[in-house]
């Protein structure tokens, strides 16, 4: 991964492949952002004009390359757009900094070292630039050039080194901000790797094995229920979904504990390593990216490891509900009734509504420990993509205050999210003549119906929220800001923030 350091060096004397500066959109054209004074001076104070001549406007995500002024050791200046210039006496927002740093890092793929001279006024800004740069530099090359060279044949190796100019390497707060950004970005990028890994290589067993390795490395407790243990425990939902696959399902429990804390959060992730739809097979056009259906479990996994690396004063249990949804002679049929871990029976009307079945068992398992709150994360419904698009996830909850707190946490870390309701009248659409409930209801409002189904498997009195990340989990379009093509790592940063806020007593 990209290495990141704080540096007090002055831009002109710095040996690097490029100097990154910020340019904002001012009322009368591009404006050079603070941090780039030395570069502007070397251009005789005419840098804004030079940028305008080159067509730069300062718009978000815009990248303009120009030769460095004479006397600079670095040959190249990369001016990255920060969007609208802030009002007088206010600074650039954290998300503008993250996005700009991400776009710059991506534009510098193939380079060894870049110095970032972006406007960082405090430790928080430093963390934002660090996070953006580390996330933006990400690329997934494992399956190019056999993954042997560390360098993709068809692409460029990620930017290897970033020096943040203007950072204070001896200041505790700055150091902590870089440490936090590094831990979060590294784990988030690992989640992206998992999501991007093709389903012939990532199945429930191999995912569980990775969790065991990570647990050892980070001092977490890990428990893996294999198909025999699931059978013995009565996990009918997870077993039912995995029944059609050669790769048997798993339920992984990862626990991070802090001896000084009595607070307990549970994170539950949907981990369908491939969703073919099962017997209710998805048509071509709807299954090519369904390796991403374990994005919720990847997010939970990354967040628990990040919480451990940050030593947060809170106990966090991660539950990964892992199965592959495949059609075969042993697969669950539409019409089958499953007896779930909670004891409830479910009539499976559509085997493509599998996420809620594995989550139901994991939610009930998580509930048995009576945590203070449960947050589940899932690529659950196409309906949520229709409702909110590809960049925003939906938040449902059995508690209004908790839903609002999650929404706030998401916005704070730069993850667009929106509250969604759980309308009681949609529950009766899931009434089954045969079982306690069906796994499908009304088509309209399908994301909310799924949320109502999950709610039935949350233990009495436990605060719970559900994040439907089906939209933002996987980016089929071009990269933007610090978001790459493919797996995005959606919800990781929101979960980490929720853990931090719980640790500091600012949530729940």
Tell me the residue nearest to Zn ion as measured from the CB. Answer: 275
Question: If binding is defined by CB under 6 A, does position 475 make contact with ligand BES?
Answer: no
275, 361, 376, 456: which one binds Zn ion (CB under 5 A):
275
Q: Which is nearer to ligand BES, 341 or 474 (CB)?
A: 474
Q: Which is nearer to Mn ion, 2 or 379 (CB)?
A: 379
63-67 and 76-84 beta bridge pairing: antiparallel
Tokens of 213: 């390795």
Question: If binding is defined by CB under 6 A, does position 238 make contact with ligand BES?
Answer: no
Question: If binding is defined by CB under 6 A, does position 317 make contact with ligand BES?
Answer: no
Q: How far is the CB of 293 from ligand BES (least distance, A)?
A: 5
Stretch that binds Zn ion, among 111-119, 145-153, 353-361, 422-430 (CB under 5 A): 353-361
Q: Which is nearer to ligand BES, 380 or 448 (CB)?
A: 380
Q: Which is nearer to ligand BES, 17 or 361 (CB)?
A: 361
111, 203, 317, 381: which one binds ligand BES (CB under 6 A):
381
Residue 446 binds which of ligand BES, Mn ion, Zn ion, none (CB < 5-8 A, kind-dependent): ligand BES
Q: How far is the CB of 379 from ligand BES (least distance, A)?
A: 4
DSSP 374: E
Mark 322-361 with x for binding to Mn ion (rule: CB under 5 A) and - for no binding: ------------------------------x-x-------
Number of residues written out for the chain: 508
The residues pairing with 31 across neighbouring beta strands, listed in sequence order, are 24
User: Distance of alpha carbon 396 from its chain centroid, rounded?
Assistant: 18
Residue 204 dihedral angles phi and psi, to the nearest 5°: -55, -40
189, 196, 317, 379: which one binds ligand BES (CB under 6 A):
379
Question: If binding is defined by CB under 5 A, does position 376 make contact with Zn ion?
Answer: no
Q: How far is the CB of 261 from ligand BES (least distance, A)?
A: 34
Question: If binding is defined by CB under 6 A, does position 334 make contact with ligand BES?
Answer: no
Q: How far is the CB of 268 from Mn ion (least distance, A)?
A: 17
CB 399 within 8 A of CB 308: no
Cα separation, 394 vs 414, in Å, equals 15
Question: If binding is defined by CB under 6 A, does position 345 make contact with ligand BES?
Answer: no
CB 328 within 8 A of CB 245: yes
Q: In the chain, what's the furthest Cα-to-Cα distance?
A: 80
231 is in an annotated binding site: no
Residue 470 binds which of Zn ion, ligand BES, Mn ion, none (CB < 5-8 A, kind-dependent): ligand BES
Cα separation, 470 vs 171, in Å, equals 40
CB 452 within 8 A of CB 460: no
Q: How far is the CB of 472 from ligand BES (least distance, A)?
A: 10
Q: How far is the CB of 106 from Zn ion (least distance, A)?
A: 29
Which three-class secondary structure string do you get for 101-152? HHHHHHHCCCCCEEEEECCCCCHHHHHHHHHHHHHHCCCCCCCCHHHCCCCC
Q: What is the dihedral of CA 482, 484, 486, 489, to 10 degrees?
A: -20
Nearest Cα residue to 19 out of 2, 1, 42, 52 = 42
Sign of CA dihedral 166, 169, 173, 179: positive
344 is in an annotated binding site: no
85 is in an annotated binding site: no
Residue 448 binds which of ligand BES, Zn ion, Mn ion, none (CB < 5-8 A, kind-dependent): none
Q: How far is the CB of 90 from Mn ion (least distance, A)?
A: 45
226 is in an annotated binding site: no
Q: Which is nearer to ligand BES, 3 or 386 (CB)?
A: 386
Give, as ranges, the residues between 115 and 144 that touch Zn ion (CB under 5 A). none
125 is in an annotated binding site: no
Angle CA 157–161–167, to nearest 5? 150
Cα separation, 502 vs 402, in Å, equals 12
Question: If binding is defined by CB under 6 A, does position 347 make contact with ligand BES?
Answer: no
**Catalytic residue ranges:** 282, 356
DSSP notation for 234-297: T-HHHHHHHTT-SS--EEEEEEE--TT---EEEEEEEEEEEE--TTSPPPTTSSTTGGGGGHHH
Give, as ranges, the residues between 269 and 288 that touch Mn ion (CB under 5 A). 275
Q: Say how many CA atoms lie within 13 Å of 247 toward its Cβ.
A: 20
Give, as ranges, the residues between 290 and 309 that touch Zn ion (CB under 5 A). 293
DSSP 207: H
Cα separation, 83 vs 31, in Å, equals 10
Q: Which is nearer to ligand BES, 206 or 350 (CB)?
A: 350
474-475 and 393-397 beta bridge pairing: unpaired
Q: How far is the CB of 270 from Zn ion (least distance, A)?
A: 7
Torsion-angle region of residue 89: left (phi > 0), alpha (psi -120 to 50) or beta? left
Known binding-site positions: 270, 275, 293, 352, 354
Known binding-site positions for Mn(2+): 270, 275, 293, 352, 354
Binding site for ligand BES (CB under 6 A): 275, 293, 350, 352-355, 379-383, 385, 440, 446, 470
Binding site for Zn ion (CB under 5 A): 272, 275, 293, 355
Binding site for Mn ion (CB under 5 A): 275, 352, 354
């Amino acid at each position: 991964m990209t290495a990141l350091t704080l540096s007090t060096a002055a831009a002109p004397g710095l040996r690097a492949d490029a100097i990154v500066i910020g340019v904002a959109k001012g009322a009368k054209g591009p404006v050079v952002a603070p941090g780039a004074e030395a570069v502007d001076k070397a251009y005789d104070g005419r840098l804004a004009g030079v940028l305008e001549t080159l067509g730069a406007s300062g718009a978000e995500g815009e990248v303009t390359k120009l030769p460095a002024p004479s006397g600079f050791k670095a040959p190249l200046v990369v001016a990255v757009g920060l969007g609208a210039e802030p009002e007088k006496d206010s600074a650039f927002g954290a998300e503008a900094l993250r996005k700009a740093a991400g776009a710059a890092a991506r534009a510098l793929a193939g380079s060894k070292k870049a110095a970032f001279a972006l406007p960082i006024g405090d430790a928080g800004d430093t963390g934002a630039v660090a996070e953006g740069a580390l996330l933006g530099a990400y690329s997934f090359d494992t399956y190019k050039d056999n993954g042997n060279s560390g360098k993709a044949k068809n692409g460029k190796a990620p930017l290897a080194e970033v020096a943040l100019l203007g950072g204070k390497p001896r200041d505790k707060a700055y150091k902590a901000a870089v440490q936090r950004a590094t831990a979060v970005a590294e784990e988030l990028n690992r989640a992206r790797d998992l999501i991007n890994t093709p389903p012939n290589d990532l199945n429930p067993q191999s995912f569980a094995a990775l969790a065991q390795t990570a647990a050892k490395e980070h001092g977490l407790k890990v428990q893996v229920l294999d198909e025999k243990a699931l059978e013995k425990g009565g996990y009918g939902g997870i077993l039912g979904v995995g029944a059609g696959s050669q790769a048997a399902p798993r339920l992984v429990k990862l626990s991070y504990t802090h001896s000084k804390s009595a607070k307990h959060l549970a994170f539950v992730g949907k981990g369908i390593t491939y969703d073919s739809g099962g017997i209710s097979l998805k048509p071509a056009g709807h299954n090519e990216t369904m390796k991403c259906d374990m994005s919720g479990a990847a997010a939970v996994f990354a967040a628990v490891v990040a919480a451990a690396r940050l030593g947060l004063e809170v106990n966090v249990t991660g539950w990964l509900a892992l199965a592959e949804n495949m059609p075969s002679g042993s697969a669950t049929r539409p019409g089958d009734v499953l007896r779930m871990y909670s004891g409830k029976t479910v009539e499976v009307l559509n085997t493509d509504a599998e996420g809620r079945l594995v989550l139901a068992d994991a939610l009930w398992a998580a509930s048995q420990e009576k945590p203070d709150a449960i947050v589940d994360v899932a690529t659950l419904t196409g309906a949520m993509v229709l409702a909110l698009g590809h960049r925003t996830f939906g938040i449902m909850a059995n508690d209004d205050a908790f839903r609002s707190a999650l929404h706030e946490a998401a916005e704070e870390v730069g993850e667009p999210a929106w509250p969604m309701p759980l309308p009681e009248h949609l529950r009766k659409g899931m009434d089954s003549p045969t079982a306690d409930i069906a796994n499908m209801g009304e088509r309209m409002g399908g994301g909310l119906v799924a949320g109502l189904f999950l709610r039935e498997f949350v233990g009495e009195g436990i605060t719970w929220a559900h994040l439907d990340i089906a939209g933002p989990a996987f980016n089929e379009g071009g990269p933007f800001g610090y978001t790459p093509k493919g797996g995005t790592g959606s919800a990781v940063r929101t979960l980490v923030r929720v853990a931090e806020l719980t640790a500091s007593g600012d949530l729940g």
